[in-house]
Amino acid sequence: MIMFNNVSMQYSETNEVALNKVNFLVEKGEFVFIIGASGAGKSTITHLITREIQPTEGTILINGKDTSTIKRRQIPYFRRNIGMVFQDFRLLESKTVYENVAFALEITGTSSKQIRRIVPNVLGMVGLSAKANVMPNQLSGGEMQRVALARAMANDPGLLIADEPTGNLDPTNAEEIMKILLDINKHGTTILVVTHDVNTVNRMKQRVIEIQNGIIVRDEQEGSYVCMEEGVE
């Protein structure tokens, strides 16, 4: 569960108001797109959720917990429940596919026995069982992103955030990534996808939150338009 209550974010370095009184609730198990032009405030939302930054105003609850109350030493544990995928994949180039996924488990203190069980499992989930021993530079972009997805899912997070996951992919590979995200969602993981790939968003018929200049201008549930101004006057 993610809840933003009147959240504003003004960056102190630039005085830029990236978010202005943003409110939304994402229930456990939802699939949500966050869309909007470059600079609208999408990544700021993801950084607030992962507690990389704290809002200048308002509160953020993750699974009922106010993130401002999380102590510095608790942050790594808090983040274990959030898988992240980025546009640029961020794989470790000197490690094989298998080792990239295993590494995510090693840093959370998972036993070798568990790692040997989990890695083949998540690589199977993204259709890369046959590429376990390949180096990242021998993979296509779509395959690299699938490794990143497997790695993000290795610790079985309740929430997966993908910030422009298809930004570097052709339409076929983008579609494949979206299929895998839907599949992961079917198994109960909450999914937040930041994108400006409008075609994908329209085709997938999932909830869409649109942000413009730091303000939510649309929160549309599976195609039925919900006007945010409703009932305000």
Give the interface with ligand ADP as residue ranges (CB under 6 A): 11, 13-14, 16, 18, 36, 38-44
Query: Binding segment for Mg ion among 34-42, 95-103, 105-113, 200-208 (CB under 5 A)?
Result: 34-42
Question: What amino acid occupies position 73?
Answer: R
Residues 82-141 that bind Mg ion (CB under 5 A): none
Residue 147 binds: one of ligand ADP, Mg ion, none (C-beta under 5 to 8 A by kind): none
Q: Please, which residue, 43 or 100, has the CB nearer to ligand ADP?
A: 43
Closest distance of CB 115 from ligand ADP, Å: 34
Number of residues that bind Mg ion (CB under 5 A): 2
Tokens of 161: 């955030």
Is 67 a residue that touches Mg ion (CB under 5 A)?
no
Confirm or reject binding of residue 185 to Mg ion (CB under 5 A): no
- Separation between Cα atoms, residue 32 and residue 123, nearest integer Å: 24
Q: Is 189 in the site for Mg ion (CB under 5 A)?
A: no
CB-based burial label for 203 (10 Å; 0-12, 13-18, 19+) = exposed
Do 190 and 156 form a contact (C-beta atoms < 8 A)?
Answer: no
Pick what 77 binds: Mg ion, ligand ADP, none; C-beta below 5 to 8 Å, kind-dependent.
none
40 or 161, CB closer to ligand ADP? Answer: 40
Using CB atoms within 10 Å of the CB of residue 42, give its burial: 0 to 12 exposed, 13 to 18 middle, 19+ buried: buried
Residue 195 binding Mg ion, by CB under 5 A:
no
Q: Residue 196 Cβ, how far from ligand ADP at the closest point, in Å?
A: 9
Q: Which is nearer to ligand ADP, 10 or 59 (CB)?
A: 10
DSSP calls for 22-51: EEEEE-TT-EEEEE--TTSSHHHHHHHHTT
Strand order of the sheet with strand 190-195?
Answer: 82-86, 159-163, 190-195, 31-35, 207-212, 215-220
Residue 185 φ/ψ region, left for φ over 0, alpha for ψ in the -120 to 50 degree band, beta for the rest: alpha
Residues binding Mg ion (CB under 5 A) = 42-43
